[in-house]
Chains A and B, each alone.
Chain A
């Protein structure tokens, strides 16, 4: 085991909430609206469907191989060498997602708040902070996430103040182009749920893992729909045009002529959310790398990995429009592959192997 700490299922659930929503809530309304017009708020349905399938698969796998991460049990399922190959793919995926995440984080900060601050500084500052946290272990990540979550949630509730400016008419007509555009708009970012494969083994009450994940999924879908609906009802056809529709929402809040221009709140929730997302992803990447190299302790290469993440973030995309192209085209397939297809394939093989004589599996779990 690379980690000695333990977290509770509830903590994992709370930690996963900003992990899933951060970044996504700011960018995806635009992409979704580009595909589905005024129906994009319905994507939550598919997120829920897809998310529950992923959670089912991962918790099932975890039940078959308790106290093991994806990297560990994939070796038991498909053998050492293919698993190493597969895990290299995952490692790459984690690093790539991390790079993309912090790049999006920094792009937003430099694009809307700190125009002249070097992007490298913004990238490094969050990676450094996350690295320190990751070195402290999963317990500290979970605990800080729990404390920071209110900072992520409260700004969202402030958007209620937009109520007088919302127009229900923008929602109509519902599904005038059928369901296909909505499926396209789904974007599958819910596939990030794969990281629970690395958190479930450290739960103090693993039996509640599925419940907590489903709880998070529901919260994520509800919040996502809430944000999407707000965007749609305020911005209408303009949603697909804005680079950061939620940013506009926060800027548009005006209450009693005094509580105006609340984008500071967005910055707060953005940084907090991204920090939690990066910390969790970073932790998962570090653990999976340690397990890939069969090392006892992941802590020693947290900092070197951080350098790699910064480099990845700069190499991933030359500019914002390339980022947009990636998220519109390649990203859904990446998510589907890593989030759904591979775990499903692992689960099927695992179930098939389980059906073989008892001896085999006993031998394997002893290792």
Chain B
């Protein structure tokens, strides 16, 4: 199997990292007495936790006495715990409690405390674990176990339209930084209990929650297992964004092409899940990873599925055409202009010669210069505060475009080529797939300026070959174009109408191949009536 082959690579990768990481593990264990049980002395317990959280000003210890006799301590981290809730639903009932009541932790949960989630904890490691996730820990005198109360609450960003993937039609909400909000959005779309959301914590210090989402019965079990095992291999100090995970689990780490899809849209994620793919949600980032993907997934926009299929199909062709253009256009221009001038139609050649007459640079230097400055403008545009964005666009358009041409530094055709290339690379719905293509055009320009079209074609062949060696979790990156399966073309080269897409993509969803019942073309019903 192909999956096995890729994991072999991973073994090697992990083996190199492991020794150093073990050392770190032992160190941290020495600091935090993970495995120590809570004792029945309250002061000792609080002291231990206080030691662990020394110099942590955000940890609050609230001492109080229940029923006049039993001392208790409430420990929580300010800012991620609901202080109001603690006052109202935990401390208030406890203070009002009568002496006759049972104050064992499990009894408290059942009788006195009005909180939705509460768990008994008996180890310090558990306490710390819960504290860091916003739980409040209640410790009682003479009890060797405490209570972790689910009072987590922190400031959240409101649901907003995804910034990187905008569309005209389709849902406008995007994922947020909060994992549970994100999973809830998935659950709201896919209500079946077969949507599985497996949670695991990664990152030695960050303890980032990661959810592996898939639909049981559609996603292949071997794929889920492979993703799970690759995730479990990760041993890292912290995970701040899903990009960390992406780089740690992908098949070909040196490739410029993204081998996992990252999306901000719950609808895209759900669609992928329904096709038998697996999603990885990471706490703290709105970007969800989806695997396995092919090059075509990168070129599909969510909107493709919401518009009329003719329009989507034609838009896709346009997108394919321009993504190839964004890769090759400047290189083609350089090759033709400096090697194969006879291929330019006569009158065009004359006007090009006229416009290039004053340009002091060789064509390929000109191309590189313009492309690099375009990239700089783009990068600056991303990083710029919004207020100065307008200024940059004016400077960019005027200085790079108009003034440079008028000063005779660059020729007008070159500016046109760069502009078309730049625009066409943004036609790719996945920003980072577009970036890969944009970066690859630099080597192509260099090849084209060395060997003309020959070099360009050799470069393209090399890219094609490289893409053919790529796999995303066992699925060939260029599948369905490199293995001509006609049924696959319905959602790659074309966008077939929904009533024709009766099967899932065969490369990801063979366990449950049928998507819907056949013969749903509206006309057929009408004919029968």
Partners in one complex: yes
On chain B, which size bracket covers the interface?
Answer: 20 to 34
Q: Once the chains bind, are A271 and B468 in contact (CB under 8 Å)?
A: no
Q: Roughly how many angstroms separate A136 CA and B484 CA in the complex, as a whole number? A: 20
A sample of 14 cross-chain residue pairs with beta-carbon separation below 8 angstroms, ordered by A number, consists of: A8-B483, A114-B452, A117-B451, A129-B465, A132-B465, A133-B465, A136-B468, A140-B465, A146-B482, A146-B483, A148-B464, A264-B343, A267-B457, A275-B458
Are A136 and B465 in contact, with the CB atoms below 8 A? yes
Query: Which of these binds chain A: B65-73, B124-132, B161-169, B334-342?
Result: B334-342
Given the complex, which residues of A lie within 8 Å of B453, measured CB to CB?
Answer: 113, 264, 267-268
* 8 A Cβ contacts from A112-133 to B: 113-114, 117, 121-122, 125-126, 129, 132-133
* Chain B nearest Cβ from A156, distance in angstroms: 16
Residues of A within 8 A of B527 (CB): none
Mark contacts of A1-33 with chain B using CB atoms, 8 A cut-off: 1 yes-contact digit, 0 otherwise: 000000010110010000000000000000000
Tell yes or no: B481 within 8 A of A by CB: yes
**Do A14 and B345 touch (CB < 8 A)?**
no
**B24 on interface, CB distance cutoff 8 Å:** no
Please give me the residue from chain B that is nearest to A262 by CB atom. Answer: B343
Contacts A114-B451, A143-B478, A147-B482 given; indicate if A258 touches B458 (C-beta within 8 A).
no
Closest 7 CB pairs of A and B: A143-B482, A143-B468, A271-B457, A144-B468, A140-B468, A144-B465, A146-B482
Asked if A257 and B345 sit within 8 Å, CB to CB, the answer is yes
- Cα distance A113–B339 when bound, in Å? 8
> Is the CB of B454 closer than 8 A to any CB of chain A?
yes
* Cα(A140)–Cα(B440), bound, Å: 20
CB of B200 within 8 Å of the partner chain: no
CA distance A261 to B341 in the complex (A): 10
In chain B, positions 440-471 with a C-beta closer than 8 Å to chain A are: 451-455, 457-458, 461-462, 464-465, 468-469
Closest Cβ–Cβ distance, residue A273 to chain B (whole Å): 11
Most buried by A among B345, B468, B469: B468
**Chain A residue contacts of B478, Cβ below 8 A:** 143, 147
Q: Which residues of A contact B454 (CB under 8 A)?
A: 109, 113-114, 122, 125, 267, 271
Task: Report chain B residues within 8 Å CB of A263.
Answer: 340, 343
- Nearest residue (CB) in B for A4 is B5
Chain A residue at minimal CB-CB distance from B476: A143
**New A-B pairs, 15, CB < 8 Å, besides A125-B458, A271-B458:** A122-B451, A122-B454, A125-B451, A126-B458, A139-B468, A143-B468, A143-B478, A144-B461, A146-B481, A147-B464, A257-B345, A260-B346, A263-B343, A267-B453, A271-B457
Question: What is the 8 Å Cβ interface bit string for chain A, positions 238-263, against chain B (1 contact, 0 not)?
Answer: 00000000000000000001101111
Q: Which residues of B contact A113 (CB under 8 A)?
A: 339-340, 452-454
Whether a CB of chain B sits under 8 angstroms from the CB of A347 is no
Q: A272 in the interface, Cβ–Cβ < 8 Å?
A: yes
Instruction: Knowing A122-B454, A125-B451, A268-B457, say if A11 contacts B465 (CB, 8 Å).
Output: no
Q: Closest Cβ of chain A: how far from B453's Cβ, in Å?
A: 5
Q: How far is the CA of A147 from the CA of B481 in the complex (A)?
A: 6
Q: How far is B249's CA from A218's CA once the two chains are assembled, in angstroms?
A: 45
Nearest Cβ distance between residue A251 and chain B, in whole angstroms? 9
Give the chain B neighbours of A147 by CB distance below 8 A: 464, 468, 478, 481-482
Instruction: Select which of A8, A117, A129, A262 is within 8 A of B458 by beta carbon.
Output: A129
A25 to chain B, nearest CB (A): 17
What are the residues of chain B within 8 A of A129 when measuring CB–CB?
Answer: 458, 461-462, 465
Chain A 261-284 against B: per-residue CB contact (8 Å), 1 yes, 0 no? 111100110011001000000000
A interface residues with partner B (beta carbon < 8 Å): 8, 10-11, 14, 109, 113-114, 117, 121-122, 125-126, 129, 132-133, 136, 139-140, 142-144, 146-148, 257-258, 260-264, 267-268, 271-272, 275
Given the contacts A109-B454, A267-B457, A261 and B343 also touching, CB distance less than 8 Å: yes
**Interface of B toward A, CB cutoff 8 Å:** 336, 339-340, 342-343, 345-346, 451-455, 457-458, 461-462, 464-465, 468-469, 476, 478, 481-484
Given the complex, which residues of A lie within 8 Å of B483, measured CB to CB? 8, 11, 143, 146
Given A8-B483, A146-B481, A146-B482: A114 touches B457 (CB 8 Å cut-off):
no
User: What A residues does B342 contact at CB under 8 A?
Assistant: 261
**A146 and B484 within 8 A (CB):** yes
How many Å lie between the Cα of A190 and that of B484 in the bound state?
Answer: 25
Bound CA span A257–B346, Å: 9
**A192 CA to B339 CA, complexed, in Å:** 34
| A264 surroundings in chain B (CB, below 8 A) | 336, 340, 343, 453
- Min CB gap A262→B, angstroms: 8
Residue on A nearest B5 in the bound complex, by CB = A4
Q: B464 — which chain A residues lie within 8 A by C-beta?
A: 144, 147-148
Cα distance A257–B345 when bound, in Å? 8
B109 CB → nearest A CB, Å: 58
Contact A260 to B484, CB < 8 A, known contacts A117-B451, A147-B478? no
Residues of A within 8 A of B476 (CB): 143
Q: What CA separation (Å) do A268 and B455 show in the bound complex?
A: 10
Please give the distance in Å from B338's CB to the nearest CB on chain A: 12
B339 neighbours in A (Cβ, 8 Å): 113-114
Smallest Cβ-Cβ distance to A263: which chain B residue: B343
Residue of B336, B461, B465, B481 near A271 (CB, 8 A) is: B461
Q: How far is the CB of A276 from chain B (nearest CB, A)?
A: 9
Once bound together, how far apart are the Cα atoms of A268 and B343, in whole Å? 13
Q: How far is the CA of A258 from the CA of B347 in the complex (A)?
A: 9
**Could you tell me if B457 and A272 are in contact, using CB atoms closer than 8 angstroms?**
yes
CA distance A271 to B453 in the complex (A): 10
Task: Note all chain B residues with C-beta closer than 8 A to A122.
Answer: 451, 454
**CA of A130 to CA of B454 in the docked complex: distance in angstroms?**
15
Assembly CA distance A11 to B482 (angstroms)? 8
B343 touches A275 (CB 8 A): no
| Closest chain B residue, CB of each to CB of A257 | B345
Also in contact, A136 and B469, with CB within 8 A (given A129-B458, A263-B343, A267-B453)? yes
Assembled-state Cα–Cα distance A72/B233 (Å): 42
Q: Which residues of B contact A146 (CB under 8 A)?
A: 481-484
With A and B bound together, what is the CA distance between A148 and B467 in angstroms? 12
List residues of chain A with CB within 8 A of the CB of B484.
Answer: 10-11, 14, 146
CA distance A129 to B343 in the complex (A): 27
A259 smallest CB distance to B (angstroms): 8
> Given contacts A113-B340, A263-B343, A264-B453, are A275 and B482 in contact (CB under 8 A)?
no
